[in-house]
Amino acid sequence: MSLASGAVEYTLGSLPVTGCGVSWTAEELDAALAGPVASLVFDNDGTADIAALLESLPGTDFASDEITKILNNDTPPQNWEVGEALAEAYLTHHRDSYFPWPDGRDIRKPKSSLPGADLVGFHKNNEETRFAFGEVKTSKENKSPPQVVRYGDHSLNRQLTDLRDNKPLRDRAVVYLGHRAIRSDWQGTYRNAAKHYIKTKGSGVTIFGVLVRDVPPNSDDLAASRQMLSENCPGKTLVELLAIYLPAGSIDTFRDKVVATSKRGDA
């Protein structure tokens, strides 16, 4: 499934810390929500794998209804969860990144939350495979930058600074992903990223900060954050701030649109 790259509205700074703002049309957003984004929200690939496993069990030939009930997730996603999936889809399609283990697979009860980075995976930078860590904020606040960027322990600025400066935090994410890499079809990718991570003593990573907005593009959303993160940034650490701008009022439609897609079976 393809995903629009959008129109570039502005770029900021230079390596190792950069910023970029892109915008989507209503048609581009609808196509994303009905395709790659809905697929990530409902983890279609993982669900299909479990369905195949359960259907292969002896004596379950006539139990398809029960299997469907087990796999059915009737808890509608929050708009911010759709925003995270949108950010992941964008980074996967347009930043040569790969996030193989959705957070939803670690949730043991509905509506619970998990600590750590929103996105943990890999980024291909030229010939290097790096670990990639991402934080995502979804905001419809008509202010630039919005409060979710600047204020509090859970602000985008604080979380990105922690990922940049706190090696034990990155180490835990590397171990977390390693447990899931064993015997997976992406174990080789993990090994390559781990080799680079160890060689650079933990600094050779890529950190993404993604802001999903439904207000007019404004470089003030990212400018101060980019400047702050540039100060004392290790040379081998890459940081990209990305703002994805959507038509006005779009965020409030996220949940209904992906749920409608799921009911139609389009995703």
pLDDT > 90 fraction of the chain, expressed in percent and rounded = 76
Residue 33 resides in a domain: yes
Residue 46 resides in a domain: no
Query: What are the pLDDT digits (tens) for 142-181?
Result: 999 999 999 898 999 999 999 999 999 999 999 999 999 9
Question: How many domains does the chain fold into?
Answer: 1
**Cis geometry, peptide bond prior to residue 16 (ω within 30 degrees of 0):** yes
For the ranges 30-39, 82-91, 103-112, which has the lowest average pLDDT? 103-112
Question: 258: buried, middle or exposed (CB in 10 Å: 19+, 13-18, 0-12)?
Answer: buried
Question: 192: buried, middle or exposed (CB in 10 Å: 19+, 13-18, 0-12)?
Answer: middle
Query: What are the pLDDT digits (tens) for 181-205?
Result: 999 999 999 999 999 999 999 999 9
pLDDT over threshold 60, residue 266: yes
Query: Which is more confident, 262 or 11?
Result: 11
Q: CB–CB of 267/38 below 8 Å?
A: yes
Q: CB–CB of 225/156 below 8 Å?
A: yes
Q: Which domain holds residue 233?
A: 7-38+79-264
Query: What are the pLDDT digits (tens) for 14-57?
Result: 999 999 999 999 999 999 999 999 999 998 777 777 777 887 77
pLDDT over threshold 80, residue 115: no
Output the pTM of the full model.
0.91
Q: Mean pLDDT score of the chain, rounded to an integer?
A: 91
Residue 55 resides in a domain: no
Residue 57 resides in a domain: no
> pLDDT class for 112, splitting at 50, 70, 90?
low
pLDDT over threshold 70, residue 100: yes
pLDDT over threshold 90, residue 60: no
Residue 250 resides in a domain: yes
Residue 43 resides in a domain: no
Q: How far apart are CA 130 and CA 164, in angstroms?
A: 14
CATH number of the domain at 98, please.
3.40.91
Q: How far apart are CA 171 and CA 202, in angstroms?
A: 8
Residue 160 resides in a domain: yes
Backbone angles phi, psi at 34, to 5 degrees: -80, -10
β-partners of residue 136 are 210
Residue 163 resides in a domain: yes
